[in-house]
Amino acid sequence: MNFRRVLDRLACPECHGPLRVEGPPPALRCCACGAPYRVEEEIPILLAGASGPPVPADQAEAGGRRVLPTRLAHRLRAWLNESPGRDRHQAARLTAFVSAAGDGDLVMDLGSGSRRLGNQVLAVDIGRFPHVDLVADGHRLPFRDGVAGRIVCTGVLEHVQVPERVVGEIVRVLRPGGRIYAAVPFLQGFHPGSGTDADFQRRTHLGLMRLMTPLAIVEWGIAGGPSAALAWVLREYLALPFAWSRSLYKVVYLAAGPLTSWLRWLDVLLDRFPQASRIACGFYVIAEKTDRLE
């Protein structure tokens, strides 16, 4: 999605003032405080000074070099690198969540990485990943108050320094009746964000719902069950004896993927058990901004 389609909803991340387009070459400037923001290949870099520079594209693409440019090789790498904690139901839930947006609603994928949920979804990330429409910091969202109808935020809140502040920004940006779909890890191994060493916290289902306290909980559930958690730990465990060699560790880690990923299918049964949340891999929540928050 081109940023010009949502220019009237953007705001300066420093003071929340309106932005105007200048140039050529195109750039953005705050009408209130005068802060300038560059636009690179039609992608605005809307980072406040405290946010630092964006994650460079080459780091955001780390591990994605094409050695064998064939569809088979791509699928093989995806199979070997597939996260053992992947939620097999998340794609369907996200499709339904995005599709339920109202006409004219701004739908945002916050921390999108290289994921594209649809042409109507604004992909926002602090890194210059493929398909990102706008570079921004979740602690200082460059949007006006109450302009978003739906916000997706999966696999992000564990990587930010102050998740409460990010949620506060999401609450500010959502309109009354707007909703967030968030997913966080519980029993998962250390996994820093692309191009960074940032991985700071884990949450139980109660911790996730407390984090969403400003909002009304609509739905919550397991996002990767006990077997997915076991597969993740076992994969790391099998590779750990080879950690003396970074290259060998990576080879064993990749090889352990197919050996352990089958365990996740046991969650077809185990996810239904009432105590599954005690050792789940992660959780999701759908929460709504109510009128009382205005």
Residue 28 lies in a domain: no
Cα separation, 30 vs 16, in Å, equals 8
Residue 145 in any domain: the answer is yes
Would you say residue 62 lies in a domain?
A: no
> Is the residue at 284 inside a domain?
yes
- Residue showing tokens 């064993």: 252
What DSSP string runs through 18-62? -EEEETTTTEEEETTT--EEEEETTEEEE--GGG-SPBPHHHHTT
pLDDT at 102 (0 to 100): 86
pLDDT for residue 86: 73
Instruction: Please state whether beta strands 282-288 and 174-185 pair in parallel, antiparallel, or not at all (unpaired).
Output: antiparallel
Domain of residue 241 covers: 68-293
Report if residue 239 sits inside a domain. Answer: yes
Give domain status of residue 75, yes or no. yes
Residue 110 lies in a domain: yes
Q: What is the mean pLDDT of each run of 10 residues along the chain (294 residues)?
A: 91 95 90 93 87 62 43 53 73 94 93 90 92 94 96 95 96 96 95 79 96 94 94 94 93 90 91 94 96 65
Which pLDDT belongs to residue 294?
Answer: 57
pLDDT at 68: 43
- How many domains, the chain? 1
CATH of the domain at 131: 3.40.50.150
Q: What angle do CA 79, 89, 119 make, to 5 degrees?
A: 85
For residue 275, being part of any structural domain is answered with: yes
